[in-house]
Amino acid sequence: MRRFFSFSGTISGSTFILRSLFTIVLSIPFIVIVSVILVTIVFSYMDIDLASAEGMTMAESNAIGEDAGLKIAEEMMEIGPMAWFSEKISTFWIIASIISLIPVLWFGLATYYKRVSALFYSNRVKAFIAFFVAEATLDIVALTSGNNAVYWICSLIGLGIFGFLLFSNSPIGEHDG
C-alpha cells in the first residue's frame, strides 16, 4: 500500500489513467462530507420534518426549497458570505473536509510525479515542478479570467498536457511504481 503513495518509481500511461480514475474513487469521502454539510444547512432552513414530508406533492416541496433558498440568500446578504459560512459550518466539518482531501491530493501528486519520472527520468524533479506550475497556472487563469474563450483555451491546453503524459512513450522498459 505504501508504494502507491510514495514519490518513487515510474508508471506507464495505462497505469497513469487507472490511477487518475482511482483518484476519483478516493475523493468519495470528501464528496459525502461536503454533501452532508450542504444538506444539513439547507434542511436547517426548511420548516418541515421528515414525517410531514412523506405526503408532500412536488409543488409543495419545490416551494419549501425555494423558501429555504431565499432565507439563505437573505441571511447571507445581511451578514456577508464569510460570516455566514463561519456561523453555519463548524470547525469539525472543516477539519473533516481537509482530512478527507489529504489522501486524494497525495495520491494524485504521487501519480503525476511517477508518470513525469517515467518520461523525464534525468530531470524528473524539475519537470514535475514545471508541469505542476503550468497546470496550476492554467487552472487559475481559466477560473479567474471571466472570459469563456480563455477558460476553454486553458482547459484544452491542460487536456493536451494530460494527453501528453498519457500517450507519450517512456524510455523506461519496466516500470516499478
pLDDT tens for the 177 residues of the chain, in order: 666 677 777 788 888 898 899 999 999 999 999 999 888 888 887 777 666 667 778 888 788 888 888 888 888 888 888 888 888 888 899 999 999 999 999 999 998 998 898 888 888 899 999 999 999 999 999 989 888 899 999 999 999 999 998 898 877 766 665
Task: Quickly tell me which residue has 482530512 as its cell.
Answer: 99
The Cα–Cα gap between 95 and 39 comes to 18
The Cα–Cα gap between 83 and 137 comes to 29
Task: Identify the sign of the CA torsion 54, 55, 56, 57.
Answer: positive
CB 18 within 8 A of CB 175: no
- Describe the chain by its helix, strand, coil percentages, rounded to 5: 75, 0, 25
CB 117 within 8 A of CB 126: no
pTM of the prediction?
Answer: 0.76
